[in-house]
Amino acid sequence: MNKKSSSMVNMPAPREPINQKIDTNNALVLNHNAIYEQRLAEITQSNTCDKAIVTVNPYGTAPLSLYLGVWIDEAAALEINVVDSEATTEAVRYQYDVHPGANLIPVCGMVSAVNNQITLRLASQIVGQYTVMTDALPPTDSANVSLGFPIISVSCPAQQASLMEEGLYFSTYFERYNLAFDHKGIVRWYVSQEIPSYNFVRMDNGHFLATSQGINHCLNMYEFDIMGRVYTVYLLDNEFHHSILPIENNLAIAPSEYSNGRPDGYSTGKDGVSIINLSTGLEVAYYDMLYVMDYSRSPRPSGSAPGQDVSMDDWLHINQSYINEPNNLLICSGRHQSAIFGVNVDSGELRFIMANHEDWSDEFKQYLLTPVDDDGVPLYDLTSPGGIDAADKNFWTWGQHNIVEIPNDEPGILEFMVFDNGNYRSREDAKSLLPLDNFSRVVQFKINLNTMTVTRPYEYGKTEVGNRGYSSFVSAKHLLTNGHLVIHFGATTVDEFEHTITAQPGSSDLVDPDEGQQALGRLVLQEINKETKEVLFEAMVTSGYFKNEETNGTNYRYDISAFRVYKMPLFA
């Protein structure tokens, strides 16, 4: 189908709402509000710090969390320490401000299936101490359990934990659980499957936003806190199917689409970006990229995720977006074009495309960036087959995810870091890599819009992790304030012969004629020193149970996957 003329570019006006709103009558929200008020009302002046009302898992959604109901006479900052009674892992410590009167003090970071020691200190003096036994973690995958609890093992222990940034490793496992674990690989927090686990991000107020395919196909967005209390459920007319990002003025931006069919008769999906007001739930802008990018260019990679309508033309597959304020650009990652592109925030007009230069319509070639070195000298001869192949294998991203801005206020300059999945690494089958020979990596790019060039100041993963990190979909990284990087190679999957395989042979990668008939997700999570590339910590996350098509269906290769990773404290 031909690309529409540029004169038809839509201004980024919001779509007319059908049923988009905040669900003020949501039963779960109302129930959680009532539980909070009831627990608060139970507290009396007799409930001093050493005689608190202990309520474990108050909402039934966060089993390793509890409330301490205490009455406080004067405002103070309590120090809270949580550790298992055998001290087999590190303590979780944080400060919580209490006010005069009744307080529900949130306590998180307990260890499952053991006694936990919770200590309250005021001005370094112990004012309360409690021992609490917790339940075991949910069951893992087996013949009788699907979408079970992930199994975490530490493959490279943290030798210098004191030099690492404080916090837990938070991740979200598709339709399984949102969870956090420590440097020992011990789970210290998770929420139940009542809460979406996939599209997961923390807000400035410390709450989380999440959607998932398993809960109304990403049309219900939940706001919840570390205690598992759900505050808001947003009813969306159109999916927030990837990468929710809270931005200024209480707005959130996310890739979206026309989930109930486009008004122009086209059958495309995952090719727009929506901005909504979190105060009202209403959309304030929509960018329809069918009218911006080159619809005539064939996708590479392609395919459809589990639960996705296979009749939908997923030609672009936007999986991340953010606004670069210095240049007034909306930056997007389009997985199925293996392209990162920018459009003007006000007009929606295309500004640049960072991608392999092959197969673009003539009108789009002016937007393509040229790879250069630090002196501005082109790195590749993109008119020769050898130069094209070298750029494909070493420079461009393929099927990329998780593009995150690196601040740079210089006019005409923008920087970001992205997870380069690496699907195919060529638009030609004859030059593409099999999953067994491929790699995924984290890459930092710097774009100069004044010269329409791009440099690559940093990469990690190609040689350092190699094939054991190859992930044909999803994955993420988090650049920490101390300069460390946390990376989750979030879809690495092997067959029964320990060979790396892809999620959708023929769509996400070449078909490997020698691959086996079973699949097991084996996801590498690392914290590294970004500058030296030293591995400071590594864990392996798996389902622990091989899947096959006969037993588990055609999507058996999507065994376990991680869409997001962060290292952060329990309380923001």
Q: What was the pLDDT predicted at 297? A: 99
Q: Does 15 fall in a domain?
A: no
Handedness of CA 198, 492, 312, 351 (dihedral sign): positive
- Structural contact between residues 339 and 357, judged by C-beta atoms closer than 8 angstroms: no
CATH of the domain at 77: 2.60.40
Mean pLDDT of 474-493: 98
Q: How many residues does the chain have?
A: 572
Residue 153 phi/psi, 5° resolution? -135, 145
Would the pLDDT of 91 be above 90?
Answer: yes
Q: Whose CA is closest to 83, among 63, 109, 113, 112?
A: 109
Residues 129, 155 within the same domain: no
Domain boundary among 104, 133, 162: 133
Residues 127, 146 within the same domain: no
Helix (H, G, I), strand (E, B) or coil at 189: strand
- Structural contact between residues 75 and 97, judged by C-beta atoms closer than 8 angstroms: yes
Residue-wise pLDDT tens digits, 435-463: 999 999 999 999 999 999 999 999 999 99
Q: What was the pLDDT predicted at 7? A: 37
Q: Does 5 fall in a domain?
A: no
Q: What was the pLDDT predicted at 265? A: 92
Residues 120, 226 within the same domain: no
Residue-wise pLDDT tens digits, 158-191: 988 888 889 999 999 999 999 999 999 999 999 9
Would the pLDDT of 5 be above 70?
Answer: no
Token pair of 263 as six digits: 């008004």
CATH of the domain at 296: 2.120.10.30
Residues 226, 83 within the same domain: no
Token pair of 111 as six digits: 């260890």
Residues 169, 48 within the same domain: no
Q: Does 2 fall in a domain?
A: no
Confidence band, pLDDT 50/70/90 cuts, at residue 3: very low
Would the pLDDT of 2 be above 50?
Answer: no
Residues 412, 471 within the same domain: yes
Q: Whose CA is closest to 35, among 55, 18, 15, 20?
A: 55
Mean pLDDT of 384-393: 99
Q: How far is CA 2 from CA 266, 268, 290, 297, 356, in A?
A: 12, 13, 11, 9, 20
Residues 6 or more apart in contact with residue 430 via CB below 8 angstroms: none
Residues 478, 513 within the same domain: yes
Residues 514, 542 within the same domain: yes
Residues 6 or more apart in contact with residue 226 via CB below 8 angstroms: 62, 65, 106, 108, 189, 206, 208, 570, 571
Q: Does 225 fall in a domain?
A: yes
- Which domain, by its residues, includes 185? 138-568
Q: Does 8 fall in a domain?
A: no
Residue-wise pLDDT tens digits, 509-564: 999 999 999 999 999 999 999 999 999 999 999 999 999 999 999 999 999 999 99
Q: Does 414 fall in a domain?
A: yes
Residue 9 phi/psi, 5° resolution? -55, 130
Residues 265, 371 within the same domain: yes
Residues 147, 129 within the same domain: no
C-alpha span between 319 and 493 (Å, rounded): 21
Domain boundary among 73, 99, 133: 133
Domain boundary among 133, 148, 178: 133
- Structural contact between residues 440 and 477, judged by C-beta atoms closer than 8 angstroms: no
Total domains in the chain come to: 2
Residues 119, 143 within the same domain: no
Mean pLDDT of 253-273: 96
Residues 156, 91 within the same domain: no
What average pLDDT does the chain have? 96
Query: How far is CA 249 from its chain centroid?
Result: 22
Q: What was the pLDDT predicted at 12? A: 83
Q: Does 1 fall in a domain?
A: no
Q: Does 396 fall in a domain?
A: yes
